[in-house]
Amino acid sequence: MKTSGSRGTSGQISSPKECKKELADFAPDFLSKYENLCGPHGHLVGDSLTWADLVFYDIMSKILVVLPGALDGFPKLAKVMDTVTANEGVAAWLAKRPDTPH
């Protein structure tokens, strides 16, 4: 896995252990910023499901595979995840989508 981006890192992560460490170092700051931006209604913005919620859900579901407790201490973001999965259309898709490792 290559890393690059806003943290100013650039290089190669050579093992799953390194990937988990990089993510564990990055996630708390990332999640704190999003927790502060998050509204009180279980959505990142506004009071209904938006692309922001769906994109966050997608990213966060991948993070949670590597760091299962990543949302501990971030109740607004946990509520966003719950709100997205409670959406009838999303729930239907999650129930029938192909099982993939990513």
| DSSP per position, 39-79 | -TTSSSSTTS--HHHHHHHHHHHHHHHH-TTTTTT-HHHHH
pTM of the model: 0.79
pLDDT in tens, 63-101: 998 899 999 999 999 999 999 999 999 999 999 988 876
Query: What number of CA atoms fall less than 13 Å from residue 21's CA on the CB side?
Result: 6
* Coil/strand/helix, residue 99: coil
pLDDT in tens, 20-44: 888 888 889 999 999 998 988 899 9
Compute the distance between CA of residue 49 and CA of residue 84 in angstroms, rounded to an integer: 7
Ordered structural domains, the chain, with CATH: 14-96 (1.20.1050.10)
